[in-house]
Amino acid sequence: MSSSESKPPVAIHCRPLRPDEADEACALARSVFDRYVAPEQDEKGCRMFHRFAQPSALLRRHKTRYATWVAVDGPRVVGVLHVHARNHLSLLFTAPERQGRGIARQLLHTAATSGGLIAPVTVNASPNAVTFYAKVGFTPDGPELLKNGVRHQPMRLSEWPSSAPAPRP
Ligand SMILES: CC(C)(COP(=O)(O)OP(=O)(O)OC[C@H]1O[C@@H](n2cnc3c(N)ncnc32)[C@H](O)[C@@H]1OP(=O)(O)O)[C@@H](O)C(=O)NCCC(=O)NCCS
């Protein structure tokens, strides 16, 4: 994926998740996970993810230092970001047909500028997303790990870039 591909602009808006959007946000996370992440994980890791990305579990976690932002296009949720303790990315997913247009970058920017995401920020990146995280400023933090059936590359962003990139459009 590269910025040189010409894709039509999308009019998206990022904001905190409303509780009535939890079903749609979690369905998006699970379906994007199944398509892009699951092929590189084992069955145990996939089952664990599906339990983590249930709407009731996600909303319950909001009582324990988690917060969630969504990218919406009209009434439709097209991206989701779930953060723990304002410094660890737990879920970040963009709808397949909207990928590569700045939505994940905009979700991170919205969470950061509202004080919901404070550097240093960590993430356990799935192997397919390592290049994306590197593009937005994360660097590997140790070797790739396999924990609870989940293969991931620990990554860390020490500081936000001084000028946050403008979302497209
Ligand atoms: C990773 C993901 C969230 C990125 O979302 P996105 O909205 O497409 O990301 P953006 O458009 O903001 O991308 C920012 C930059 O990263 C690049 N990029 C995005 N996804 C990429 C990928 N999978 N591989 C390489 N580069 C990628 C974009 O082209 C863009 O580059 P540019 O600034 O040079 O134009 C999305 O691809 C996704 O949902 N992937 C599957 C699920 C996943 O792996 N989630 C992370 C779990 S830890």
Could you tell me the residue ranges of all domains in the chain?
A: 13-119
Q: Does the CB atom of residue 105 touch ligand 1 within 6 A?
A: yes
Phi, psi angle pair for 162, to nearest 5°: -60, -40
pLDDT tens readout for residues 53-71: 999 999 999 999 999 999 9
Per-residue pLDDT band for 160 (boundaries 50, 70, 90) equals confident
- CA 76 – CA 137 distance, rounded (Å): 28
| Distance from chain centroid for Cα 52 | 14
- CA 21 – CA 112 distance, rounded (Å): 21
What per-residue confidence (pLDDT) applies to 7?
Answer: 58
Q: Say whether the peptide bond before residue 96 is cis (omega within 30 degrees of 0).
A: no
pLDDT for 158 beyond 70:
yes
Find the mean pLDDT for residues 65-92: 97
pLDDT tens readout for residues 2-40: 444 555 555 899 999 999 999 999 999 999 999 999 998
Whole-number Å distance, alpha carbon 133 to ligand 1 midpoint, is 8
Per-residue pLDDT band for 166 (boundaries 50, 70, 90) equals very low
Return the percentage of the chain with pLDDT > 90, whole number. Answer: 83
**Considering only CA atoms, which residue is closest to atom 4 of ligand 1?**
104
pLDDT for 44 beyond 80:
yes
Q: Which of 122, 124, 156 is nearest to 139 (CA)?
A: 156
- CA 2 – CA 123 distance, rounded (Å): 22
Ligand 1: atom nearest CA of 35 is 41
Ligand 1: atom nearest CA of 105 is 12
Q: Which of 165, 145, 162 is nearest to 153 (CA)?
A: 145
Q: Does the CB atom of residue 91 touch ligand 1 within 6 A?
A: no
Looking at residue 57, its amino acid is: A
Residue 111 buriedness (CB in 10 A; 0-12 / 13-18 / 19+): buried
What per-residue confidence (pLDDT) applies to 84?
Answer: 98
What per-residue confidence (pLDDT) applies to 163?
Answer: 54
Torsion sign (Cα): 31, 24, 102, 84 = negative
Whole-number Å distance, alpha carbon 100 to ligand 1 midpoint, is 6
What per-residue confidence (pLDDT) applies to 106?
Answer: 95
More confident residue, 51 or 149: 51
Ligand 1: atom nearest CA of 2 is 29
What per-residue confidence (pLDDT) applies to 2?
Answer: 47
**Which of 126, 132, 151 best tests ligand 1's pocket when mutated (most atoms within 8 Å of CB)?**
132
Q: Which CATH number fits domain 13-119: 3.40.50.1110, 3.40.630.30, 2.40.30.10, 3.40.109.10?
A: 3.40.630.30
Q: Are the C-beta atoms of 26 and 62 separated by less than 8 Å?
A: no
Torsion of the alpha carbons at 69, 45, 102 and 132, rounded to the nearest 10: 130
